[in-house]
Structure 1
């Protein structure tokens, strides 16, 4: 085992044992101290981020990835605000969800407890360093973070600030740790740190997530891959549909809750396709369509099978024209990654059918998929969007970073 990882694991276990006994008041004070530290270290963070961006541009990193990497005062404020918001949220730790009396007179309760030590592997978004730290800390978990090499200097600067805030509030700085070596070899060993990690959460593109799923021996919570669909039903209000599409595709195409495939009922295709194409034109969205789409939109290029399965994370949109609701459902079920799926329709029963027919972490009627976000859901942030069904699903907030134990009160009972 790598000595650095072992040292970090030992320190994280000790910090987790201390943190789980901290009061809500103490944790909230720690969160507010980290909020203040982010502002105090803002210049250093922005300088480090500028160095990362310069290196990324020199290495030809795609524009959407550079957008994910970029920090500015407003984004630092957003990171800092999340600490304040999470401090105001109820603390799940210690909450007894239920208490029942057994036939033997035992009082049996189910109490929320931290997971322990969480490992997180993520790519080019340095705000994850702050978001994950805030949520793990409030939910009583120590965390070891491994960010991507393209954001290393930014992540180190953010972690320096957070650890400074932690120590000012009387907590061990090892409660939050960042692996300083982003090499693949060390990442592979990190995925097998069973003696110290209670779970591992990958947050990034399909390649990263599949690598973790295939190679980790630590229990993994799968997050993030978002081949999200927007279905325009024959009974859709087309002006609303256009507004939702522009937001869901263009507001921030690099994130996992943006729309990648548009599915349109043929009854409205002739009318709707030219309208939405015009609305997307200012954003220079590349349209990749099936034969029907290409016959209506000359600017569209023929779509491949891979296009309908892709998470583009860019200004690219796959378009499919279908002849019935059932065909739309079949297409979505075939290609969906189980993240977020949307229908636009004014028909009540069709909307209800969509809710029942689509198996995804978030299913929307007449609203943008961009709302699939812990902040928008009232969680104060998120550790990621879980696309699996065991333990947690959808935006992972404080409760999703906990487990439970049974607490039993007796009066001398013995089992016969």
Structure 2
């Protein structure tokens, strides 16, 4: 039996033991996991520093370096994310009543783990802790296949979590990291439909497409984050500027950063000169349509059909539109179903925007940077699904469960 098949089979067997563990026992394990991450902060950083240096030598771009890097704050964030998961209700075993049939059969539905989750991701060593904790509390085994850039850090983190599992007499195989980044092994992983229940890829568009096209296991897709801020004619422009700068410049190499700005022409003359000044100060490169080009110096004039890029850097595409409907249409044409924001003081426009825009998170007067599992109260997240089967948006514990029917009768037979 190959390494990958053995890994997948062992994860399946381990998950069966976890599925019946009560919430108090699970929380005790998670408490020790958070403590282990804090206690071993320096050793995690030591491994990570070497990987970051190697990545820089190999010419990885700034966005990838940012995702790879772990500092004190991010390691503490990993531990705190686990503690938030402890505080959340365990979805496993939750029941809801469907109803009673005329023949007296009582029908309920109960939440159950998916089984074994496989994460395929690039340069995000924090995913090891986030996914490990989320899958553990939701009753799932998890197999983590990270990119070669973060493999050493991911292995260091997973070993800490596995040691905690072993301390609590639980199988280490509940949280596994594929120890070899060979692409052939990833392909073999995607063929383990007897043992793996779902694959969740996180990374660049190329990775997502590759997994989607080649996997024999169901895939929950997390495509690119082309997020927009629409500044309505009834916007508070000071508020709009704060949302824009936070969404674009606070952290650029993440999927919930703003990549597009759409401005109603009624406020463009007041708002865009302020934007031009602020972006010049922050070093943001601007691509803008002809209608908005007059407000910028040395901006790249973009064709009306050339939007939709995920820059992951200090770069943004701006479009001045004639009206509200044109803004909705622009987002429909060029958005990626991730996160969309409207800035407006008009409640009717805000409500219509939230109903009309097809995105997993639709915000009114709030930064796109809040489109994140921890910020939305889910604890850590295992990904942000931009397709609707079976989850949409940041995926917390509930998204890692399914429901089965419970049917109780008193001897009824079908006529």
The answer to whether 1:131 aligns with 2:130 is yes
Asked whether the equivalents of residues 115 and 198 of structure 1 are also in contact (C-alpha less than 8 Å), the reply is yes
Counterpart secondary structure, 2:59: coil
| Aligned counterparts of 1:157 and 1:132: Cα–Cα separation in 2 | 15
Gapped runs of 5+ residues in structure 1? none
TM-score (norm 1): 0.97
Count of residues in correspondence between the two structures: 415
1:62-113 superposed Cα distances (whole Å, 9 cap, x missing partner)? 1121111110122111101111111111000011022522222222210000
| Aligned counterparts of 1:113 and 1:94: Cα–Cα separation in 2 | 6
Counterpart secondary structure, 1:80: helix
Alignment of 1:75-224 (within 5 A): 75-224=74-223
1:98-141 superposed Cα distances (whole Å, 9 cap, x missing partner)? 25222222222100000000011111111111111111000000
Alignment of 1:330-369 (within 5 A): 330-369=329-368
| Aligned counterparts of 2:303 and 2:50: Cα–Cα separation in 1 | 38
Gapped runs of 5+ residues in structure 2? none
Of residues 287-296 and 245-254 in structure 1, the stretch that sits farther from structure 2 once superposed is 287-296
| Aligned counterparts of 2:357 and 2:333: Cα–Cα separation in 1 | 11
Over the aligned positions, Cα root-mean-square deviation in angstroms equals 1.4
Asked whether the equivalents of residues 279 and 285 of structure 2 are also in contact (C-alpha less than 8 Å), the reply is no
Alignment of 1:160-309 (within 5 A): 160-304=159-303, 308-309=307-308
Asked whether the equivalents of residues 166 and 172 of structure 1 are also in contact (C-alpha less than 8 Å), the reply is yes
Aligned to 2:314: 315
Asked whether the equivalents of residues 37 and 164 of structure 1 are also in contact (C-alpha less than 8 Å), the reply is no
| Aligned counterparts of 2:256 and 2:407: Cα–Cα separation in 1 | 42
| Aligned counterparts of 1:406 and 1:171: Cα–Cα separation in 2 | 29
The answer to whether 1:391 aligns with 2:406 is no
Asked whether the equivalents of residues 92 and 399 of structure 1 are also in contact (C-alpha less than 8 Å), the reply is yes
| Aligned counterparts of 1:388 and 1:344: Cα–Cα separation in 2 | 25
Asked whether the equivalents of residues 276 and 295 of structure 2 are also in contact (C-alpha less than 8 Å), the reply is no
Aligned to 2:372: 373
TM-score (norm 2): 0.97
Structure 1 stretches of 4+ with a deviation exceeding 4 A read: 304-307
| Aligned counterparts of 1:355 and 1:415: Cα–Cα separation in 2 | 46
